[in-house]
Structure 1
Amino acid sequence: MRKVFTGILISVGVATLVGIIYLNYLFSKIKFTNTFSPEDVGVQNTQNSKIYGVTSEIDKRKISNSQQLMVAVFGVDKRIGYEIPRSDTIMIVALDQKNKTIKIVSVMRDILVEIPNYGKEKLNSAYALGGPKLAITVLNKILGLSITKYVSIDFKTFEKIVDSIGGVDVEIKDYEVEQFNISTRELNRVNGGVPAETIQEPGVYRLNGRQALAYARIRYAGNGDFERTSRQRYLLSKIFEKVKTLPIDKKMYLIEIIFENIETNIRPSELLSLALINITNYKLETFRIPVSGFFEETTEFIERENTNLWVLKIDIEKNKQELVKFLKTR
């Protein structure tokens, strides 16, 4: 009996050791950066706020902080060659473990904002001018948020993620075919490797990673950048539903791909707890800023660029109010 007990202890010890080694291996692949204090990223009146992720002045509504985490996610295109690229995709992800929901907010990159020390700029310029710290500061300012955590991910990683789950089924509409093919050919030229196939007609296709990225980057079809962000949310919902059905070994492989290709200031212990959440019963909800009816399309002279650029001027207070309605928990 003692030998059996000893054998069990040894087995548990070995399994624990292997687990620790594997976790250290995963964490060694992540590019961790310094954490931001609320003051670092422009959060005001944190002592009076009872809301985690949204400051108290927004319409005096409460967003429960019980088990909700809010993170800024930046999709960047490092192929351009700049040391710090612009954030081509900007999203806010709110994870509510209490109500088992993941809420994703697309924030359009062409929103006209005031960037400290730079003046009027498009929102996506904030990341290029001051990295994630400045980008979060601007987000907090225009939307009344109190975000301090972020994840940056390169678009090439998106290809790997989709390939790791076996692709996603997407309906491509007739007016999207031409721009999908243009985007696919461009990615084939720039990224090299095995070229992704183009398509001849609309329909439902099983897209591989590169094709999915090409689809997500379509801009000059339909309603321009508005429909582009809609496609991105549609793709994320498809990926989310497929990830929910993956066996544990495939999920661990996916986590490894993500970990080795992100930059974040989320601490390892918190990142591990997030990675181990069972999302099978979670619901995904999506939203867009600006909200329809609370913005105008116009041009604005951008001094740093020395030219007039197409921008979105948003009604800040109305968009804040709609954002609170979307984010607040039951």
Structure 2
Amino acid sequence: MRSSILKKGLICLGAVLLLESPAVTASAVYTVKAQENDATVDTSNIKSILLIGQDKQGDQTRQRSDSMILATLDKDQGTISLTSFMRDLYVAIPGYSSTRINAAYAYGGMELLDETLEENFGVQIDGNVEVDFEVFKVLVDKVGGIDLELTQAEADYICGRDQSVLYPQPLRTDWDLQEGVNHLDGEQALIHARNRSIGNSDYRRTERQQDVLKAAFAKIKDLNVLEIGGLIKDVLPLVTTDLSLWDMTGYAMDVMSIGTDEIQSYRIPEDGSYTPQTIDGMQVLVPNLEQNREYLQQILYHAGE
């Protein structure tokens, strides 16, 4: 049971807005700056996959990244973590002028987004998985929907019962979601993951996206090996990724070896490490890069321990 719980972990990551997926390239040793001393940290057993939700619909070409979540598997520590990078972060994009970080994907796809994250925040990215909104809905439906606890305000928002909020939804009289645990299909889960009308705008929206991933994790934990293999086969043609099926299978084995379904959640910028500003007419978050780099070295690579 334990190994099947972990196997699903991989897919779960995959299944949603962000998907599953596996590890790939190995960077055996990563040099980080820990506090005031330079330290070399062995990261050969730490693998990170960037899960990208693209703000693209219909026949549109590549758009900005609506969500960027780094899923990190640490085999030595036996942990899985999700680190969200907020889309309004104002950073330098290699080859372009400074702007919101979500523009990097529109400018240069996965490669440029990875380079932007690595240069600004000192993280290493081993692979990428990207889905757009329509594919996201399909992925959630393929895992049979997800179970999520909603507030009454969130339930009303999904069903379109509250027209006074920012970005109101069409009224759906055939949906009867209420406060408490609800079973959401792909369309409902997407509305929830994109909701920044209830709570603290994009901050709460970031938490909702991670909640969706965790719910997918929980939903898939009881699938057997054959079911998980079939799910990967069905999902692979629907996503854009630089990972091969072989990579994904290897990553699944890594997840199985962890022996836990605990997931830690983080957000960049860290509280107290940024200033809201208006630059060139844009409302952005200007991060303290040194503080956020140190925070990431601690939570992902255990610098200073």
Number of the residue aligned with 1:95: 73
3-state SS of paired residue (1:117): coil
Amino acid of the residue matched to residue 257 of structure 1? D
3-state SS of paired residue (1:242): helix
1:130 to 105, 108, 119: 108
Number of the residue aligned with 2:48: 70
CA shift at 1:81, angstroms?
Answer: 4.3
CA shift at 1:108, angstroms?
Answer: 0.4
Deviations 1:177-196 (CA, angstroms, capped at 9, x unpaired)? 3432349x99x99xxxxx89
CA separation of 1:320 and 1:163: change in aligned 2, threshold 3 A? same
Q: Is the 8 A contact 1:157 1:258 kept in 2?
A: no
The structure whose Rg is larger is 1
Number of the residue aligned with 2:194: 217
1:152 to 130, 136, 144: 130
Q: Distance in 2 between matches of 1:120 and 1:212?
A: 33
CA shift at 1:76, angstroms?
Answer: 1.0
Q: Is the 8 A contact 1:127 1:135 kept in 2?
A: yes
Q: Distance in 1 between matches of 2:241 and 2:228?
A: 20
Q: How many residues align?
A: 272
Number of the residue aligned with 2:145: 167
CA shift at 1:321, angstroms?
Answer: 1.2
CA shift at 1:247, angstroms?
Answer: 2.5
CA separation of 1:146 and 1:285: change in aligned 2, threshold 3 A? same
3-state SS of paired residue (2:116): helix
CA separation of 1:169 and 1:148: change in aligned 2, threshold 3 A? closer
Number of the residue aligned with 1:288: 267
Q: Distance in 1 between matches of 2:173 and 2:109?
A: 32
Q: Distance in 2 between matches of 1:241 and 1:201?
A: 21
Name the TM-score, length of structure 1 as normaliser.
0.73
Name the TM-score, length of structure 2 as normaliser.
0.78
Number of the residue aligned with 1:315: 288
Alpha carbon RMSD of aligned pairs, Å?
Answer: 3.1
Deviations 1:227-260 (CA, angstroms, capped at 9, x unpaired)? 0000111121121122122233332232123212
Amino acid of the residue matched to residue 239 of structure 2? I
Q: Is the 8 A contact 2:32 2:297 kept in 1?
A: no
3-state SS of paired residue (2:57): helix
Q: Could you list the runs of 5+ residues in structure 2 that have no partner in the other structure?
A: 1-23
Amino acid of the residue matched to residue 312 of structure 1? L
Number of the residue aligned with 2:228: 251
Amino acid of the residue matched to residue 246 of structure 2? S
Q: Is the 8 A contact 2:78 2:259 kept in 1?
A: no
Q: Is the 8 A contact 2:147 2:219 kept in 1?
A: no
CA separation of 1:75 and 1:245: change in aligned 2, threshold 3 A? same
CA shift at 1:66, angstroms?
Answer: 3.2
Identity %, equivalent residues: 29
Number of the residue aligned with 1:326: 299
3-state SS of paired residue (2:113): helix
Q: Is the 8 A contact 1:177 1:202 kept in 2?
A: yes
Q: Distance in 2 between matches of 1:116 and 1:286?
A: 28
Q: Could you list the runs of 5+ residues in structure 1 that have no partner in the other structure?
A: 1-35, 39-45, 190-194, 302-307
